[in-house]
Amino acid sequence: MQSTTTAIVHTVLAGLLALCVSVPSAAQNSDAVTTVDNLHAALLDIMKNAKTLGYSGRRDRIAPVVEASFEMVFITRFTLGRYWADLGTEQQATMVDALRRWTIAHYASRFDGYSGERFETISSKPARKGRELVRTVLVVNNDVADNVSLDYLLEVNEGTWRIVNVVANGVSDLSLKRADYGAIIKTEGVDSLLARLNGQIADLESDQ
Amino acid sequence: MIATWGSWDRMHSTINTNVPCAVLLLALFVVVGTGCASVPGEPDPNDPWEPFNRSMYGFNDTLDKAIIAPVADVYLHIPNGGRTAVHNFFVNLGYPTTMINQFLQGKVDNGFEDTMRFIFNTTLGLLGFIDIAGAVGIPRRDEDFGQTFAVWGIPPGNFLTLPILGPKTVRSAVAGPLDFLSKPLRWIDTPGEFVVLVFVDIVDTRARLAPAIRLRDETAFDPYVFTREAYLQQRLNVIHDGNPPLAELENLDLLEEDMLLEEEKSEGTIK
């Protein structure tokens, strides 16, 4: 009788222990996926209502979602690489703001129509250093060859999962920006990069 | 319109089919490129042939803007169905390269499936113009000797931009002639037909890359660097059949290096 009771207690304890271990990681997974799903839902929304919203409407609608979904300080810091440390606090904040506006402008500009596309979340798995990799695909039409794989790397900060990198068909947005921006800073300086970012944002607005 | 990312590895790749030129140019420009490595200055350690590559990039860009892009713009006015049929034809024509390399990489099942795909599309699909195999669910794959060399463990070597042929690594440049030798196109012995087919192939590829090139032009501040990085990453992706190692996707170790640098700077050990 005593051994049966002990066995039950052990089983319950083991079960509780398993819950303690598994629940947080399961919750983390779903939270990271939620961040990506929210971004995709907002993108589909501006795609479907592209014409009625216009560029400024799409920009205003996607802006708060981008702000909530992306870890812009991290992204800017990584993108500027070794040049980040050379900037003062104010300059760093200016660059973070420029990259945020640039990201919003490009989403608003590129996702400007809808012809049956949909996003599918394929998997979510832990990456190194507590990060999470959410793999998704943008299904463009019936030809599988035209689909775009979109892998999101997320980091948790103060309980919120935010995107730190987007890898599209194997091409990392962060690495591209780091190389491209680094080349400009190296030859022309940070002020030139800032001017170019602002110029591109203005071009996107005026093109609409 | 949706953004089209990737596809950089296919840029100019169809021109690989022009083997006599390709072999000559490869031999010539690999040698010239090596010479450029000794140009004084501070070359990027990841791109020691940058001066040569940039000049070749400029040459290709000029050629593209002057001839290929305008022709591709006209070509894009052909109805989508017609362009799809032309594209299907060239994909099928290049399929023996994919089949052979599947086997060379030990992916026997894929090799047999790709062989079936080639047979179906060449016969029932009327020389490949109709993608019958795709319609019944046989996926379209893309393998080449450069990918096979990578799977065999041969290192990529330096990044290289070749005239007309575009971005490469030394590994993929060396593999280029083998790719050509495995394509049925080389059996066409009428020079006129050969040239027309190669040209249409180039225009088809350029037309399909138009959205990616537009994206580059809209976002990149240094288009050469953007193209180089996108090409290298895209190659890594296709070498791993769309599943590159997680560490490569994360690619954030560089941040730790930056932070170390910041600490050293703040401690005054370096400037």
What integer pLDDT is reported at residue A143 of this predicted model? 66
CB contact under 8 A, A131 and B237: no
**If you average pLDDT over residues B55-78, what whole number do you get?**
94
Percent of chain B with pLDDT over 90: 57
CB contact under 8 A, A82 and B258: yes
Backbone angles phi, psi at B148, to 5 degrees: -60, -45
| B206 Cβ under 8 Å from any chain A Cβ | no
pLDDT digits (tens, 9 = 90+) for B213-236: 988 988 999 999 999 999 999 999
**Rounded CA separation A162/A68 (Å):** 7
pLDDT digits (tens, 9 = 90+) for A67-125: 999 999 999 999 998 899 889 999 999 999 999 999 999 999 999 999 889 999 999 99
Cβ-defined contacts of A67-72 (< 8 Å, 24+): A67/A100, A68/A35, A68/A38, A68/A162, A69/A35, A69/A36, A69/A38, A69/A39, A69/A162, A69/A163, A70/A100, A70/A103, A70/A162, A70/A163, A70/A164, A71/A155, A71/A157, A71/A162, A71/A163, A71/A164, A72/A96, A72/A99, A72/A100, A72/A103
Among candidates B139, B219, B242 on the partner chain, residue whose Cβ is nearest the Cβ of A170: B242
CB contact under 8 A, A84 and B258: yes
Considering only residues B23 and B184, tell me which one the structure prediction assigns the higher pLDDT: B184
Chain B CB contacts of A171 under 8 Å are 5-6, 8, 229-230, 233-234, 237
Closest CA to A160 of A141, A132, A128: A132
pLDDT digits (tens, 9 = 90+) for B123-171: 999 999 999 998 888 889 999 999 999 999 999 999 999 998 999 999 9
Position B245 confidence tier, pLDDT thresholds 50, 70, 90: confident
Residue A176 confidence (pLDDT) above 70: yes
Position B38 confidence tier, pLDDT thresholds 50, 70, 90: very low
Per DSSP, A70 falls in state B
What integer pLDDT is reported at residue A205 of this predicted model? 86
What integer pLDDT is reported at residue B77 of this predicted model? 94
What integer pLDDT is reported at residue B256 of this predicted model? 65
**If you average pLDDT over residues B166-186, what whole number do you get?**
93
Average pLDDT, whole number, for chain B? Answer: 82
Closest CA to B4 of B203, B202, B167, B213: B213
Q: Count CA within 13 A, CB hemisphere, residue B43.
A: 17
What integer pLDDT is reported at residue A99 of this predicted model? 96
Residue to test with chain B: of A176, A194, A205, most B Cβ within 10 A: A176
CB contact under 8 A, A169 and B246: no
What integer pLDDT is reported at residue B264 of this predicted model? 65
What integer pLDDT is reported at residue A184 of this predicted model? 94
For residue A173, the chain B residue with the least C-alpha distance is B230
What integer pLDDT is reported at residue A9 of this predicted model? 52
Residue A23 confidence (pLDDT) above 50: no
Position B33 confidence tier, pLDDT thresholds 50, 70, 90: very low
Position B27 confidence tier, pLDDT thresholds 50, 70, 90: very low
Q: Which residues contact B16 (CB under 8 A, 6 or more apart)?
A: B22, B165, B176, B179, B180
What ipTM is given for this predicted complex?
0.79
- Tell me the three state secondary structure of residue A154: strand
Chain B CB contacts of A99 under 8 Å are none
Among candidates A81, A82, A169 on the partner chain, residue whose Cβ is nearest the Cβ of B6: A169
Percent of chain A with pLDDT over 90: 66
What integer pLDDT is reported at residue B43 of this predicted model? 66
Of the listed ranges B49-58, B84-93, B176-185, B241-250, the least confidently predicted one is B241-250
What integer pLDDT is reported at residue B261 of this predicted model? 65
pLDDT digits (tens, 9 = 90+) for A125-156: 998 888 899 999 999 876 667 788 999 999 99
What pTM does this model have?
A: 0.80
CB contact under 8 A, B222 and A140: no
Of the listed ranges A72-81, B5-14, B64-73, the least confidently predicted one is B5-14
CB contact under 8 A, B225 and A179: yes
* Distance (Å) from the alpha carbon of B132 to chain A's nearest alpha carbon: 12
What integer pLDDT is reported at residue A170 of this predicted model? 87
Among candidates B3, B228, B237 on the partner chain, residue whose Cβ is nearest the Cβ of A170: B237
What integer pLDDT is reported at residue A109 of this predicted model? 93
Percent of chain A with pLDDT over 70: 84
Chain A CB contacts of B251 under 8 Å are 165, 172, 174-175
